[in-house]
Structure 1
Amino acid sequence: MVGLQELTVPLFSFIFFVIFLYKWRSGAASTPRKKLPPSPTKLPIIGNLHQLGTSPHRSLQSLSNRYGHLLLLHFGSVPVLIASSAEAAREIMKNQDLIFSNRPKLSIPDRLIYGSRDVAFSPYGEYWRKVRSISVLQLLSNKRVQSCRRVREEETSAMVEKIKQLGSSSTVVNLSVVLMSLTKDVVCRVALGRKYGDHGEDKKFKNILVEFEELLGATSLGDYIPWLGWIDRVNGLDARIEKIAKQFDAFFEVVLQEHKDAKKRDDDIGGDGELDFVDILLQFQKENEAGSTLLTMIQSKQSSCSTLEWAIADLIKNPRTMKILQNEVREVVGMKEDIGEDDLEKMSYLKAVMKESLRLHSPVPLLLPRESTQDTKIVGYDIAAGTQVMINAWAIGRDPSLWENPEKFRPERFLDSSIDFRGIHFELIPFGLLVGGVARYCVCDGR
């Protein structure tokens, strides 16, 4: 009897264990396993952050070549889907755009751009739709773009004269500085109503803008490993962000007050002054909302300048291509002193040169991260809600399955091609998906 009692507890324990094991295996078998995208081995805490390197778009292209054009990484605790094919980009940006329309909350743009209240960084929702509508219909409509033609032509002519003067004095011409000045002056005149950065205290504006662009392209470790957020305080990143945010606040207070005073003068005398972006935004938005939208518009000068620099560099390295382009310009312009925008429409080879340069040197190689709002599938793989998504536009532009000799600068590939960079053809998306001229992208230099 005693022996039976001693066996009872182990026997019942064994029976319960067998039942539990059976139930667990039955449940696991009945739940279909999710098919996740391929993923390289990750390290504890940091995940795959160590594999990004100093040029993330290049590092991610190498990983995609090894693991596939759709791969799953982990930046700290955050799952991040990397898309490096036109097929995946089309699925994310077009076929399932609503699911991937949200933006993850990033601490740096959140602090620099008034709580991410601009068209590029704001989360999907009613506010973003309002800002996009104002941008598309009021700021970047075809009518508005054409109305700024005089500004573009005046500043371009001024740049040409400046280069002539510098060249005649045997001074080395720094084209990077000249192009930076051109894009800045055009954007400032169109957006703010006048130039900034030429003399006196206005020089501060240029320094503020350079610092702002550098910070907007930086990454806060705390976004991916929250308990390491204190590092931003130690390395000085927090202090830099706070300083530049205060400087932009002060700058925009002056800009907004200038426009209010000018409007009052126009109202008093019954004038009908020409409207710039600030005037238009003040009609629709509160002051901080106007400031956030203006920051996006002003910052866009960097991508314009980068695009021009790379195109000129490509032409210098390819004298045959430059000769063909020069001949086209001479044929179209003839004996005219100046080149107008109407002339540009007749230059098919020039357009091909710009497309080819954008293909090789996307000004925004990694498009601004999206975030999935629900579970879904992309090209057969299961993607969980809350996954960040990055599209490597730089890698797509160099995909050998899409482009013959992708590393070679050959504008002729576009002469008989309908491919454009406005977001319709996903083989070429250097600015992301353009919606009425508005692109939601990240800030990066596409080398």
Structure 2
Amino acid sequence: MRMEFINGVKLYDNPLFLFISFVIIIYLQLAKLKKKLNLPPSPPRLPIIGNFHQLGRLPHRSLRDLAAKHGSLLLLQQGHNPTLVVSSAEMAEKVIKSHDVAFSNRAKTTAANILLYGCTDLAFSPYGEYWRQVRKLSVLELFSHKRVESFQFVRDEEVELAVNKIRNASINGQPINLTKMVFSVSNNIVSRCALGRKFEEEDGDGDDGKFLELTKRVIVVLTSFSFGDAFPYLRWMDYLTGFIPNLKATYAELDELMDQIIEEGKVNPKNDLLSVLLQLRSKRKGRLRWNSLKTTSKQFYWSVIKLFQLK
């Protein structure tokens, strides 16, 4: 008996039927391959989106609940990306110490690739010779114990200013925005240590206000959802939603502003990380090419300064 539709068209000649059959065959082959691998437990997932629907508005709580149900090692499928979730100190120690090379690379997201000069910063650059050289430079020259201790006065001054603001506000019966204050203290400490100046939000629409506005935008876009990261075949959607144009515009403004700050650092060198990098640049011109450097305050903002890149 021939396989036919009601209208008389042969089923195996229909492009839609052939496409669906191809997808089913690929899915079954992948399912067989996964069965052969000794993978961690995984909650039930939906086609295409995987486990996205199980993360919810508070992912840290959702992950806690999933770990309580499925164990401290959990495999989630976030669209196209398989993600291993480690929820216990013992397992984290094994991952970091015993299998550190296997887990040393971070995913190169669309935002990080555009904003961080092709992921050439310390956090996102792949493990290898370049990463080791940048890490060595950071450990010995930028974040050594001696260097960190030299900025103790900066931390003391900023904390003292914050305490005085809280005291004065309490005396006058004024409300205090602790979230804004903590952000401001951390921002001032990092910017004074890295760039030799602090950027006060109260200063208005000048370079200071622009820098803070840009760093906030960087935080937002770095953590924003990208269709291309989750579903590579939908990368074109990032252009339709304006995500890619917004990234490029933010990058251009931030890069221009940082060039101005670097030129100021050349004219008026200070006891900050930027001045250290400028000195290293002049000493090592024969071996290193000056390109860009990103330093990170993980909890509050991503400030960008020029980075050493190997030839």
TM class, shorter-chain normalised? Answer: 0.7 to 0.9
1:65-144 → structure 2 map (5 Å cutoff): 65-144=68-147
Match of 2:183, SS?
helix
Q: TM-score, with normalisation over the residues of structure 1?
A: 0.54
In structure 2, how many angstroms separate the alpha carbons of the residues matched to 1:33 and 1:241? 41
> What letter is aligned with 1:210?
K
In structure 2, how many angstroms separate the alpha carbons of the residues matched to 1:235 and 1:187? 33
1:47 aligns with 2:45: no
Q: How far did residue 99 of structure 1 move?
A: 2.2
Match of 1:167, SS?
helix
Cα pair 1:187 1:301 within 8 Å, conserved: no
Q: How far did residue 240 of structure 1 move?
A: 2.2
In structure 2, how many angstroms separate the alpha carbons of the residues matched to 1:225 and 1:116? 20
Match of 1:74, SS?
strand
1:210 aligns with 2:216: yes
1:275-424 → structure 2 map (5 Å cutoff): 275-282=271-278, 283-284=280-281, 286-290=289-293, 293-294=294-295, 296=296, 299-300=297-298, 302=300
Equivalent in the alignment of 1:172: 175
Cα pair 2:73 2:87 within 8 Å, conserved: yes
Equivalent in the alignment of 2:231: 225
> What letter is aligned with 1:207?
E
Q: TM-score, with normalisation over the residues of structure 2?
A: 0.76
> What letter is aligned with 1:183?
S
Equivalent in the alignment of 2:23: none
Equivalent in the alignment of 1:442: none
In structure 2, how many angstroms separate the alpha carbons of the residues matched to 1:217 and 1:122? 18
In structure 1, how many angstroms separate the alpha carbons of the residues matched to 2:192 and 2:299? 12
Cα pair 2:105 2:124 within 8 Å, conserved: no
Consecutive aligned runs of 4 or more in structure 1 exceeding 6 Å deviation: none
In structure 2, how many angstroms separate the alpha carbons of the residues matched to 1:105 and 1:178? 32
In structure 2, how many angstroms separate the alpha carbons of the residues matched to 1:153 and 1:196? 17
Cα pair 1:151 1:190 within 8 Å, conserved: yes
Q: How far did residue 86 of structure 1 move?
A: 1.8
Q: Deviations 1:357-402 (Å, cap 9, x if unpaired)? A: xxxxxxxxxxxxxxxxxxxxxxxxxxxxxxxxxxxxxxxxxxxxxx
In structure 2, how many angstroms separate the alpha carbons of the residues matched to 1:178 and 1:43? 42
1:192 aligns with 2:190: no
Cα pair 1:184 1:301 within 8 Å, conserved: no
Q: Which has the higher contact order (CA 8 A, sep 6+)?
A: 1
In structure 2, how many angstroms separate the alpha carbons of the residues matched to 1:82 and 1:179? 30
In structure 1, how many angstroms separate the alpha carbons of the residues matched to 2:223 and 2:192? 25
1:37 to 35, 40, 43: 40
In structure 1, how many angstroms separate the alpha carbons of the residues matched to 2:255 and 2:37? 48
Q: How far did residue 301 of structure 1 move?
A: 5.3
Moved more, 250-259 or 86-95: 86-95
Cα pair 2:195 2:273 within 8 Å, conserved: yes
1:149 aligns with 2:149: no
In structure 2, how many angstroms separate the alpha carbons of the residues matched to 1:33 and 1:156? 56
Q: Deviations 1:258-317 (Å, cap 9, x if unpaired)? A: 011224xxxxxxxxxx43111122324655322xx23x2xx43518xxxxxxxxxxxxxx
In structure 2, how many angstroms separate the alpha carbons of the residues matched to 1:222 and 1:301? 25
In structure 2, how many angstroms separate the alpha carbons of the residues matched to 1:161 and 1:36? 54
1:244 to 246, 250, 255: 250
Match of 2:83, SS?
strand
Q: Deviations 1:226-255 (Å, cap 9, x if unpaired)? A: 111222222222232122111110111111
In structure 2, how many angstroms separate the alpha carbons of the residues matched to 1:230 and 1:68? 37
* Equivalent pairs, count: 257
Change in Cα spacing, 1:102 to 1:209, as seen in structure 2 (3 Å) is same
In structure 1, how many angstroms separate the alpha carbons of the residues matched to 2:104 and 2:46? 30
Cα pair 1:192 1:278 within 8 Å, conserved: yes
In structure 1, how many angstroms separate the alpha carbons of the residues matched to 2:64 and 2:38? 22
**Which has the higher Rg, Structure 1 or Structure 2?**
1
Runs of 5+ unmatched residues, structure 1: 1-31, 264-273, 304-447
Match of 1:81, SS?
strand
In structure 2, how many angstroms separate the alpha carbons of the residues matched to 1:135 and 1:76? 35
> What letter is aligned with 2:224?
A
Please give the root-mean-square deviation of Cα atoms over the aligned residues, in Å.
2.0
Equivalent in the alignment of 2:285: none
Q: Deviations 1:25-63 (Å, cap 9, x if unpaired)? A: xxxxxxx94322112222222222222222222222222
1:59 aligns with 2:62: yes
In structure 2, how many angstroms separate the alpha carbons of the residues matched to 1:65 and 1:301? 27
Percent identity between matched residues is: 40
In structure 1, how many angstroms separate the alpha carbons of the residues matched to 2:136 and 2:153? 25
Runs of 5+ unmatched residues, structure 2: 1-34, 282-287, 302-311
1:261 aligns with 2:259: no
Match of 1:46, SS?
coil
